[in-house]
A and B are shown apart, each in its own frame.
Chain A
């Protein structure tokens, strides 16, 4: 009998800072059995990935967007995602160096989470869980199962 592993949940992360891309990928290694991370360097690339998905491709369970990115920033990307029928309700988190109230308000307006990028290791250790907590209950349980 062949045992088939369930497909991994996809997390799409767009950030132009290669150091931050690497850090978040590292943070998600603890969930690597259940999560596949797709990365993009800006909003255009992230949207291109989403548009490339056909109806049978699994949609991401979570989209993480840096705010300050070249070509298309995280806020404009979020607005576009919310206008895409298939992705309008997908959990999105603005993951940013900003802690401004205006950016936080923007995230709320577009039904997105808002997490300020950590400054030190203890904060960094929490970040994967903080991000995954934005997924739906069922997906969060699937991701955190061993």
Chain B
């Protein structure tokens, strides 16, 4: 799937696609969120949870590999 196509999906479709084909890269935490990074084909998807694996605040996509640096020290 292309980045542009994925970005247009509604959230429930985004999570379904991610569950089926996303490759887990890592997890990090901020004061507000637990954020999980997946690779999906040639782009990256960050899932921002207010309640881990239960309540998603937002999903952000990026093709920028510098995103990986944020997860370098995390599992």
Contact = CB atoms under 8 A, between A and B. Distances in A.
A120 B15 contact: yes
Given A19-B34, A124-B54, A119 B23 contact: no
A119 B15 contact: yes
Given A17-B75, A19-B34, A120 B54 contact: yes
A119 B75 contact: no
Interface residues on B, range: 10 to 19
Interface residues on A, range: 10 to 19
A118 B23 contact: no
Contacts of A117: 24, 53
A25 interface: no
Contacts of A120: 12, 15, 53-54, 56
Contact of A124 (B21, B47, B53): B53
A97 B53 contact: no
Interface in A34-86: 68
B2 interface: no
B18 interface: yes
Contacts of B34: 19
Contacts of B23: 98-100
Interface of A: 16-17, 19-20, 23, 68, 97-100, 116-121, 123-124
